Amino acid sequence: MKAWRHYFVLGLFLIAVAALSTRVVFLGVTERAFLQQEGDARSVRRESIPALRGVIYDRNGEALAVSTPVYAVSTNPRKANFSAPQFAAMSEVLDIPQAELERRVRTHADKQFVYLKRHAGWDMSQRLDGLGIPHLELRPEYRRYYPSAEIAAHVTGLTDIDDQGIEGVELAFERNLRGEPGAKVVLKDRRGNSIRDLDYLAPPRFGQDVSLSIDLRLQYIAYRELKSAVQVHKAESASLIMADAKTGEILALVNQPSYNPNDIAGQLAGMRNRAVTDSYEPGSTVKPFTAMAALESGRYDTETVIDTSPGYFRVGGKLIQDPINRASLSLAKAIQKSSQVAIAKVALDLEEQAVFDVLARAGIGDFVSSGLPGEAMGRLNNSQLRYPVVRATLAYGYGLSVTPLQLTRAYLTLASGGKRMPLSILKQDRRIETEQVFDPEHVSDVLAMMELVTSQAGTASQAAVPGYRVAGKTGTARLVGKQGYDDERHVAWFAGMVPVSDPRLVMVVLVNEPRSGVNSGGGVAAPIFSRVAERSVRLMGIAGDVQRPLFAEQTQGRRPSDVGGGL
């Protein structure tokens, strides 16, 4: 009896095995494609292979922006069923409140994908992987890192959380820097972890590296001096641009306030690239171009005398005046002493479009086309030149606006012997195309006048650099308030070049609203120029030149009556 039962159970088992085997063979033959598709849908995934973004270098090969590997932590809320202890463990590792994690998963319960954290580091990823929590995925990605932090922030800019450029060079050269992600097919286990790569569909294409014209050494010098000056003078903001007079390459570009692109939380106020986006009235920094217009007219030379007595005169309803009665001044002395009266009288004695034409040829009121985002055009308009007061104020820097970037290019035309050339943020490895816009002899005379500005008797004696001849011009422009021009708020400028005998560096310094009691370009901006230039020329190995003014301190000029119009 017992044997019968044994064989009966064995027979049933064999029949069941045979039936299951037959069914398996049947399904394997008739439903193979369907079953393979269903199996792949649960375990085979197509994944993107992140592409490495190109590196941003300075002109000497120092990295300004690099990409570092990190991980994105994600999950599938439809499949994930995290317990309270699992949420607590993830919260501790991710440094995210447990309630926030639970809310995030619960809010996206109907989704198949949600990020829990982006840009998780290697240590964090290893700790998460060690938790062994099902449906907790780690996907490789890249995060941008900026070694120079806020020193070069306004040049490099930054990327967003998806590694797309949103500011500075990162945005301007996004198409070059970004890569094209690849694709692969991977096999995953029931926990969502990748077991192995099944196939590579396309390799990633890495982004191109970009070499900038910036010299990080000079950038640091400029950054340090500008930040110190803003603190000392209690200024609202400041900008500095340094360019190579031979190539038009921007060697340094800094602003204050700045920001740290590695962590921008709470630093939005410092993100604006003021040297490129903000425009101001340039004040007396345009007087050398008025002098250029006077020389081009053929009616003035450097020693032509202008009578400024009694130290003021009226143009229409506007009173134009100097701090003191300077009596008779040569054109060179008018630049050295920055006489409003003398420059205004010269402008009124010239053709209606003369000063405007010189400024336009220097690039004022035109796009610089540096490639940096947000570049402002400034303002230069000739529609009101029929009014004498407009011509007079234009001659000493009111009624127009420029950015520090535009003024740098304008002074570059003087430093290059009258050649207009482009400003570039990229390192140049080809011949620069230039256009001769000013007579070299006139440029030489203007530089000689500007050199007097930095002499002991000039308005920018603090811009001097020991062992080098410096040419430049100060500017102190009042800002416009609710009631018109505000006598308490100023912009301090200094624009200059060094060495005069063979200009190599052009620099523009702007300090916005200094509140320490000193507000002039000569007292605020010129010392910054001096400190930055002194360190820069020595660092670059630029030879000094003999310090000797091209004009005697006491100019022997012609009588005022010798000048057309009696000015």
What is the bridge-based pairing of β-strands 56-57 and 63-75?
A: antiparallel
* Angle, vertex CA 428, rays to CA 204 and CA 506, nearest 5: 135
The encoded tokens of residue 47 equal: 């994944």
The separation between CA 299 and the C-alpha centre of its own chain, rounded to angstroms, equals 43
Concerning whether 309 is annotated as a catalytic residue, the answer is no
Distances (CA, A) of 508 to 97, 235, 399, 405, 532: 49, 17, 20, 8, 11
Identify the active-site residue in 67, 279, 284, 401.
284
C-alpha 565, offset from chain centre: 47
User: How far apart are alpha carbons 158 and 300 in whole angstroms?
Assistant: 51
| Residue 169 and residue 155 in contact, taking contact as beta carbons nearer than 8 Å | yes
H/E segment holding residue 129: helix 122-131
Report the alpha-carbon distance of residue 28 to residue 15 in Å, rounded: 20
- Reported as type and span, the H/E element at residue 347 is helix 340-349
Which among 207, 525, 253, 510 is positioned nearest to 370, based on CA atoms?
Answer: 253
Distance, in Å, from the CA atom of 296 to the CA atom of 286, rounded to the nearest integer, reads 16
Q: Which of 240, 244, 295, 308 is nearest to 448 (CA)?
A: 295
Q: What are residue 145's DSSP bridge partners?
A: 66
User: What is the three-state SS of 279-340?
Assistant: CECCHHHHHHHHHHHHHHHCCCCCCCEEECCCCEEEECCEEEECCCCCCEEEHHHHHHHCCH
Angle between helices 287-297 and 440-453 (to 10 degrees): 140
Q: Are 417 and 262 in contact (CB under 8 A)?
A: no
Give the β-pairing of 56-57 and 210-211. Answer: parallel
Distance CA 524, CA 458 (A): 15
The answer to whether 316 touches 388, Cβ cutoff 8 Å, is: yes
Please state the φ and ψ torsions of residue 372, each to the nearest 5 degrees: -80, 140
DSSP state of 525: I
Active-site annotation, residues = 284
